[in-house]
Amino acid sequence: MTANAPIKVLIVDDSAVVRQVLVSILETDRNIRVIGYAIDPIFAMERMRKEWPDVIILDVEMPRMDGITFLRKIMAEHPTPVIICSSLTIKGTETCLQAMEAGAFTIFTKPTMGVKNFLSDAAHELLAAVKSAAGARISRLPPVRPLQKASAKFSADVVMEPGREAMTLTTDRFTAIGTSTGGTQALEYVLSNLPRTCPGIVVVQHMPEQFTAAFAKRLNDICEIEVREAKTGDRVIPGRALIAPGGKHLVVRRSGAQYVAEVISAPPVNRHCPSVDVLFRSVAKYAGSNALGVIMTGMGDDGARGLLEMRQAGAHTLAQDEATCVVFGMPKEAIKLGAADRIVPIQEIPGLISR
């Protein structure tokens, strides 16, 4: 893609309705050009021989070749940003996790019914995803950012008031991590490089609720530390990482000299549930200098203000550098606010957490 040239998009979906709606949405933006569509990957490959797209929007279940196989083929031969646009079902959760592993830029979930209205309502999110995908570093860490219907952009005030609670002395230390687009592979790298003796970890990764339990289980299978989806009452202890459940906010509170997770139902913050800002605010309020805050690859600005609150409360704070981010959105916004003590490549993050 050359400077100022429209983003070339190819749509691969066997549904005529979906293709029609996607084309109508994308063509509303003059910076995007739909170069064609295909009803399955075989036709798509023929189309791509004539003109290679900057971004591909891809369904999963299609005739002749499934989307995951096609995605793996693209990533092996010519890495290209791919947005998975698929109906999300419990059965399909494992398939979508395979898409993350294969290198999908993001997953855009559509319902099994009312697809046309849903896609139209989520047009802004789709256009934003295409533009971010076009500038992403796909050859680095393949990511996922599930897209959902836009909601009002609340701040963390809707969940928790700012300010610090009186704290008793404790030797407990832990790390809070926030990430979004690119975060699935980034988290896999960081958590799989931590020893069992590392401090406790709490994580917000933007994901729908059907994904987080399976995602945590997959990480638990490959990491030395314990990784699981957070539940209210879970202690934040060394050698354990708690992943915020999709559709719920995760906060950390003090219980005597210990830190305990609490899962909360509340409106989305920065259009996300779970929200990084909510987690980071709770850490600033109840842990202060006993915590390390880490903001990693992702679109948008969720977590930037929360990381600043952590730093102001005495916590050490890190932002992943641009060179190793798939999307340098969330870290960039945190850096602009002066929220990060240090800006570091992802390769240094496991060691800093351990120390």
Supply the CATH number for residue 303's domain: 3.40.50.180
Q: What is the Cα–Cα distance from 96 to 98, expressed in whole angstroms?
A: 5
More confidently predicted of 156 and 317: 317
pLDDT recorded at residue 166: 44
- Domain shared by 238 and 336, yes or no: yes
- Domain shared by 127 and 161, yes or no: no
Number of domains in the chain: 2
Tens of pLDDT, residue by residue over 202-217, are 999 998 777 899 899 9
Whether residue 149 has pLDDT greater than 70: no
Marked catalytic residue, from 13, 54, 132, 206: 206
Whether residue 80 has pLDDT greater than 90: yes
Tens of pLDDT, residue by residue over 164-210, are 654 545 558 999 999 998 888 899 999 999 999 999 999 999 987 77
Domain extent for 12: 7-134
Would you say residue 2 lies in a domain? no
The arithmetic mean of pLDDT across residues 41-70, rounded, is 92
End position of a domain, from candidates 103, 134, 165: 134
- Domain shared by 162 and 280, yes or no: yes
Whether residue 98 has pLDDT greater than 90: no
Q: What is the Cα–Cα distance from 174 to 163, expressed in whole angstroms?
A: 19
Marked catalytic residue, from 40, 54, 59, 302: 302
- Domain shared by 201 and 97, yes or no: no
End position of a domain, from candidates 82, 103, 134: 134
pLDDT recorded at residue 102: 82
Q: What is the Cα–Cα distance from 133 to 105, expressed in whole angstroms?
A: 7
Q: What is the Cα–Cα distance from 312 to 113, expressed in whole angstroms?
A: 47
- Domain shared by 81 and 211, yes or no: no
| Band (101; pLDDT cuts 50, 70, 90) | confident
Answer yes or no: are the C-beta atoms of 25 and 120 closer than 8 Å: yes
- Domain shared by 130 and 228, yes or no: no
Whether residue 53 has pLDDT greater than 50: yes
Is 272 considered catalytic here? Answer: no
Q: What is the Cα–Cα distance from 280 to 305, expressed in whole angstroms?
A: 9
Whether residue 252 has pLDDT greater than 80: yes
- Domain shared by 62 and 173, yes or no: no
Q: What is the Cα–Cα distance from 247 to 176, expressed in whole angstroms?
A: 19
Would you say residue 147 lies in a domain? no
- Domain shared by 182 and 264, yes or no: yes
pLDDT recorded at residue 144: 38
Residue 31: what residue type? Answer: N
Least confident of 8-22, 144-158, 277-291: 144-158
Whether residue 153 has pLDDT greater than 60: no
The arithmetic mean of pLDDT across residues 6-35, rounded, is 93
Strands laid side by side in the 32-38 sheet: 32-38, 7-12, 55-58, 82-87, 106-110
The arithmetic mean of pLDDT across residues 213-237, rounded, is 95
Tens of pLDDT, residue by residue over 303-334, are 999 999 999 999 999 999 999 998 899 999 99
Least confident of 47-61, 137-151, 154-168: 137-151
Is 155 considered catalytic here? Answer: no
pLDDT recorded at residue 141: 42
Would you say residue 140 lies in a domain? no
Q: Is the peptide bond before 6 cis (omega within 30 degrees of 0)?
A: no
Whether residue 99 has pLDDT greater than 90: no
- Domain shared by 105 and 54, yes or no: yes
Marked catalytic residue, from 13, 59, 132, 180: 180
- Domain shared by 192 and 310, yes or no: yes
End position of a domain, from candidates 134, 169, 189: 134
CATH of the domain at 58: 3.40.50.2300
| Band (299; pLDDT cuts 50, 70, 90) | confident
This prediction's pTM: 0.79
Q: What is the Cα–Cα distance from 191 to 189, expressed in whole angstroms?
A: 6
Would you say residue 350 lies in a domain? yes
pLDDT recorded at residue 151: 46
Whether residue 236 has pLDDT greater than 90: yes
% of the chain exceeding 90 in pLDDT: 63
Least confident of 28-37, 204-213, 298-307: 204-213
- Domain shared by 121 and 211, yes or no: no
- Domain shared by 170 and 267, yes or no: yes
pLDDT recorded at residue 62: 86
Is 302 considered catalytic here? Answer: yes
